[in-house]
Structure 1
Amino acid sequence: MAAAERTVLQFSPSPSSTASVTAKVHPLVIFNICDCYVRRPDQAERVIGTLLGSVLPDGTVDIRNSYVVPHNEFSDQVALDIEYHHTMLKSHLKVNPQEVIVGWFSTGLGVTGGSALIHEFYSREVSNPVHLTVDTGFKNGEGTIKAYVSVNLSLGDRPLAAQFQEIPLDLRMVEAERVGFDILKTTMVDKLPSDLEGMEVLMDRLVTLINDVYKYVDDVVEGRIAPDNNIGRFLSDAVGSLPKHSPPAFDKLINDNLQDQLLMLYLSSITRTQLSLAEKLNTAAQML
């Protein structure tokens, strides 16, 4: 058979997708998905839902919000509550019209047999949706989070099926969010850390990072490692951005901020106590 007559089996991206598609998910989305999984019906093995966000100018899918969609799964069928989905979408658009559908999520490891059916539905809602999977079991203390897009499998010019292809996913968190995410990954937690305990953890981490910087600078000065111009410029910018304070002035600034934090904790504790007393007095008055 001549080479020109051979039938080629190949993967071809959908018209709106490219090989450089990336996604970025905010921690609020992960927390919301885990909360929905905890509150799922007893008979449900997983939860699925809609992802909201926008597409950035560089093509990155920015996932900023989500909501669960009730569903039922059978051996080879998936039934979605489409009316509920549209009602929730209208409610979200009233609050934030900039957030549109960018894909859907499911809990568990990887894609399943019914994922293609659900992805087909969301493909009618938005072009080239992103499928986000979250391992809510947190096996081995790691929450595996992956993102996929659909790639068409064709035989010559005839499309046959769709294949999920993993895309790069960026989970960016500030330090406070990372502390909460680390607690979420722990299977058993005695108690949530207080503000002071959280500050202590952050300060320990800051001291560790400063020691790492000191060690790197000493190694470069002593000639133990080769200098990196990019790291040097980054350290120069970081040091230059710090305000110039004398040690006594810096200690006073820290102590003043700490006292403000303690005052806020004290006032909030008094407020909670007053609310609790008011509730008990109101209950006693109703009983009398």
Structure 2
Amino acid sequence: MASSNNQTVLQFVSSSSTAASLSAKVHPLVIFNICDCYVRRPDQAERVVGTLLGSVLPDGTVDIRNSYAVPHNESSDQVALDIEYHHSMLQSHQKVNPKEVIVGWFSTGFGVTGGSALIHEFYSREVQNPVHLTVDTGFRNGEASIKAFVSVSLSLGDLQLAAQFQEIPLDLRMIEAERVGFDILKTTMVDKLPNDLEGMEASMQRLLALIDDVYKYVDDVVEGRIPPDNSIGRFISDTVASIPKISPPAFDKLVNDSLQDQLLLLYLSSITRTQLSLAEKLNTAAQIL
């Protein structure tokens, strides 16, 4: 818009009045599915794009719970999406869970690319103010860069010139079992997936490391090496208060009983696999005879 001193000012106009206050929450299943789609992509494809499904929570948070890839071709100046495939997959997903609707789209790679604006324009016709989720499947420096964006219009007066992607807060929470699987994704090559005992060992090591960090923080505060933070202190107090008060022998018995249950399940599953293998071989031998 023009000001009194005859200078022209470019103005950012949000595509929605609530765009600045938007936030997103993504479930680990979505990240696993995106990584799987990237591994299975065609040889000539540099990245994978697809649709995000979920819902909008009462507080305005976009809850991303599912996803599927959409075939596409892109060059430096144009992008082509298989819209028919997109609508067919959407109908299939909504037959299973009709409460899941389109909330945005995803792409693999580091950050936003030149063709993202064209794809975002298509999803803007599917849903108001879609969320764009980017997943760095390269895991640079052993970390996964996962970001969420919304589109913000750059206008000159009443004339819309371009669109800018504005990052919004993203909540990625995992339970410990999901965290172990997510850490495995950071390794480009693994011999095998961890079994239950190896997963438990990794969880215990992580728990001990967190306890050491908390102990060091409390010790530094008590000794006056760092200033205290009331919010952290309340969080530690609530965490300690949530732990049931049991004696060390009772705690050891509880852990040992749980470990024995895990070993029994592993033993039974091993016996089941052996029985199925023997039944398959006997069935094959009977057909030959």
Provide the residue aligned with 1:34 in structure 2.
35
Post-superposition CA distance 1:155-195 (Å, at most 9, x none): 11111221222222222222221221111011122322221
Provide the residue aligned with 1:25 in structure 2.
26
Greater shift, 89-98 or 68-77, is seen at 68-77
TM-score under structure 1 normalisation? 0.92
TM-score under structure 2 normalisation? 0.92
Alpha-carbon distance change, 167 to 231 in structure 1, aligned in 2, over 3 angstroms: closer
Alpha-carbon distance change, 179 to 285 in structure 1, aligned in 2, over 3 angstroms: same
Alpha-carbon distance change, 245 to 12 in structure 1, aligned in 2, over 3 angstroms: same
What are the residue-to-residue correspondences of 1:78-93 with 2, within 5 Å? Answer: 78-93=79-94
In 2: Cα distance, 1:17 partner to 1:162 partner = 17
The reply on whether 1:14 has 2:15 as its aligned counterpart is: yes
Secondary structure of residue in 2 paired with 1:153: strand
Provide the residue aligned with 1:183 in structure 2.
184
Post-superposition CA distance 1:53-101 (Å, at most 9, x none): 1112222211111001111223422221111111111111121122110
TM-aligned CA deviation for residue 141 of structure 1: 1.9
In 2: Cα distance, 1:120 partner to 1:128 partner = 10
In 2: Cα distance, 1:130 partner to 1:2 partner = 34
The reply on whether 1:133 has 2:134 as its aligned counterpart is: yes
Alpha-carbon distance change, 224 to 144 in structure 1, aligned in 2, over 3 angstroms: closer
In 2: Cα distance, 1:158 partner to 1:270 partner = 71
In 2: Cα distance, 1:242 partner to 1:172 partner = 21
Provide the residue aligned with 1:124 in structure 2.
125
In 2: Cα distance, 1:265 partner to 1:43 partner = 42
TM-aligned CA deviation for residue 225 of structure 1: 4.3
Provide the residue aligned with 1:272 in structure 2.
273
- One-letter amino acid of the structure 2 residue matched with residue 18 of structure 1: A
Secondary structure of residue in 2 paired with 1:133: strand
Provide the residue aligned with 1:147 in structure 2.
148
Any unmatched runs of 5+ in structure 1?
Answer: none
Secondary structure of residue in 2 paired with 1:277: helix
Provide the residue aligned with 1:101 in structure 2.
102
In 2: Cα distance, 1:215 partner to 1:7 partner = 55
Secondary structure of residue in 1 paired with 2:163: strand
In 2: Cα distance, 1:223 partner to 1:76 partner = 59
In 2: Cα distance, 1:80 partner to 1:215 partner = 53
TM-aligned CA deviation for residue 8 of structure 1: 2.6
In 2: Cα distance, 1:239 partner to 1:67 partner = 41
Q: CA RMSD in A?
A: 2.0
Secondary structure of residue in 2 paired with 1:8: coil
Query: How many residues of Structure 1 are paired with residues of Structure 2 in the alignment?
Result: 288
- Percent pairwise identity: 83
Provide the residue aligned with 1:285 in structure 2.
286
Any unmatched runs of 5+ in structure 2?
Answer: none
Greater shift, 8-17 or 147-156, is seen at 8-17
TM-aligned CA deviation for residue 41 of structure 1: 1.4
